[in-house]
Amino acid sequence: MQLAGIVLCVGTGVVTGTILAFVLSHTIGLRVDEEDQAVGLDQLYWGLKPVEQEPGARG
């Protein structure tokens, strides 16, 4: 009985993921343009600049 539950949960996840990937790929797409990726998505979407760290600082 536990095996049936595992198969049901995994199957539900796979079907849901497949449906979401199909819908998203046909609406907004799943990939980012190389140019947008080079600029940085935080800067592109929200106008955020990278935080400059002090030399020798870890983080």
- 16-56 tens-digit pLDDT: 999 999 999 999 888 888 988 888 888 888 888 887 777 77
Q: What is the pLDDT of residue 53?
A: 75
Number of folded domains that form the chain:
1
Query: Which residues does 49 contact at the CB level (< 8 Å), separation at least 6?
Result: 43
Query: Which residues does 36 contact at the CB level (< 8 Å), separation at least 6?
Result: 44
Residue 6 maps to a domain: no
Q: What is the pLDDT of residue 11?
A: 98
Rounded distance, CA 18 to CA 12, Å? Answer: 10
Q: Looking at the predicted structure, is the pLDDT value of residue 57 above 80?
A: no
Residue 3 maps to a domain: no
Q: What is the pLDDT of residue 59?
A: 58
Residue 19 maps to a domain: yes
Output 58 or 28, whichever has higher pLDDT: 28
Task: Give the structural domain span for 23.
Answer: 13-46
Residue 17 maps to a domain: yes
